[in-house]
């Protein structure tokens, strides 16, 4: 049985005491990719922020490898547990080079930088270029490569395709699957491109207005696209 990396149980989370996500339960195991889907404003990013220790737990619990995430914001502690979060803005240091961004991540990890670049060979000739001069696709590759260098057990990726041309994110999405398969990390993937996300995922959850509208094996969700589309308007859950 795979190690249970993340367990969310009956989570209410939000800002200033107001719940944006209500009653959410999900889990992520080692070596699997789990898609968290839903329209804009559904609470997907808020969920990732809370798991990272940057959100406010109003009710329920978040447990990472047996450790409860504190209700008060303590992102530095959660990061030390082996959690990497690639945010929408990619979180790069734009004045530093590709190599320097990777070296900073290596302070916390033991993975060789060349190993991380194996996932993104397009970055090799750009190793001395400043991150701010990279294209959007190259920046996303660097953000993912940096997360690999940090050797996470749990990797969370928020809207990887945001602002990218279709040809770029269609190439990047299978790499997420490869990262899980080859490193054993569990991946929680927030993505607006539903079909592409589910094609590389083991399971999926759909949020609508902060509530869980649908869940199930990725293959089941893909097999009934009409129900998946309807879930954005709110339907009963599809259990595994």
Residues 159 and 217 in one domain: yes
Q: Is 134 in contact with 93 (CB distance < 8 Å)?
A: no
Is residue 236 in some structural domain?
Answer: no
Q: What is the CATH number of the domain that holds 169?
A: 3.40.50.300
pLDDT, greater one: 106 or 169: 169
Is residue 237 in some structural domain?
Answer: no
Is residue 240 in some structural domain?
Answer: no
* pLDDT for position 78: 74
Q: Is 224 in contact with 199 (CB distance < 8 Å)?
A: no
What six digits make up the tokens of 12?
A: 């209410």
Q: How confident is the model at residue 224 (pLDDT cuts 50, 70, 90)?
A: confident
Q: How confident is the model at residue 240 (pLDDT cuts 50, 70, 90)?
A: very low
Radius of gyration of the chain (CA): 17
Q: How many CB atoms are located within 10 Å of the residue 73 CB?
A: 17
Looking at the DSSP assignment, which residues form a beta bridge with residue 121?
Answer: none
Residues 108 and 178 in one domain: no
Element (H, E) at 77: helix 75-80
Residues 190 and 78 in one domain: yes
From CA 114, how far away is CA 99, in angstroms rounded? 10
Q: How many CB atoms are located within 10 Å of the residue 79 CB?
A: 16
* pLDDT for position 236: 43
Tens digit of pLDDT for each residue in 38-73?
888 899 999 999 999 888 899 999 999 999 997 655
Q: How confident is the model at residue 8 (pLDDT cuts 50, 70, 90)?
A: very high
Q: Which of 151, 179, 194 is the last residue of a domain?
A: 151
pLDDT for 108 beyond 70: no
Percent of the chain with pLDDT over 70: 89
pTM of the shown model: 0.90
Closest CA to 116 of 86, 147, 162: 147
C-alpha pair distances (Å), 190 with each of 45, 86, 201: 7, 10, 11
Residues 68 and 185 in one domain: yes
Largest CA distance in the chain: 51
**Mean pLDDT (whole number) for 224-228:** 72
Q: How confident is the model at residue 239 (pLDDT cuts 50, 70, 90)?
A: very low
Tens digit of pLDDT for each residue in 122-179?
999 999 999 999 999 999 999 999 999 988 999 999 999 888 888 999 999 999 999 9
Q: Which domain, by its residues, includes 216?
A: 4-82+152-231
* pLDDT for position 232: 59
Closest CA to 35 of 162, 141, 194: 194
Q: Domains in the chain: how many in total? A: 2
From CA 133, how far away is CA 97, in angstroms rounded? 9
With vertex at residue 80, the alpha carbon angle to CA 169 and CA 38, rounded to the nearest 5 degrees, is: 35
Residues 159 and 144 in one domain: no
């Amino acid at each position: 049985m795979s190690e249970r990396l993340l367990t969310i149980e009956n989570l209410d989370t939000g800002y200033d005491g107001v719940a944006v996500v209500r009653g959410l339960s999900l889990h992520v195991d080692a070596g699997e990719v789990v898609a968290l889907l839903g329209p804009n404003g559904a609470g997907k990013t808020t969920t990732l922020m809370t798991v990272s220790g940057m959100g406010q737990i109003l009710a329920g619990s978040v447990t990472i490898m047996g450790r409860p995430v504190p209700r008060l914001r303590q992102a530095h502690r959660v990061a030390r547990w082996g959690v990497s979060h690639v945010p929408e803005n990619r979180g790069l240091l734009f004045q530093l080079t590709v190599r320097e961004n990777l070296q900073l991540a290596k302070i916390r990890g033991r993975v060789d930088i060349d190993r991380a670049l194996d996932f993104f060979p397009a970055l090799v000739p750009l190793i001395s270029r400043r991150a701010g001069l990279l294209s959007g696709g190259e920046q996303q590759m660097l953000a993912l490569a940096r997360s690999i260098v940090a050797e996470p057990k749990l990797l969370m990726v928020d809207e990887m395709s945001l602002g990218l041309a279709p040809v770029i994110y269609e190439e990047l999405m299978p790499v997420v699957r490869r990262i899980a398969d080859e490193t054993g990390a569990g991946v929680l993937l927030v993505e607006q491109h539903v079909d592409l996300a589910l094609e590389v995922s083991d399971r999926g959850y759909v949020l609508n207005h902060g509530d869980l509208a649908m869940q199930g094996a990725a293959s089941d969700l893909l097999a009934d696209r009409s129900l998946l589309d309807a879930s954005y308007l709110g339907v009963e859950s599809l259990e595994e």
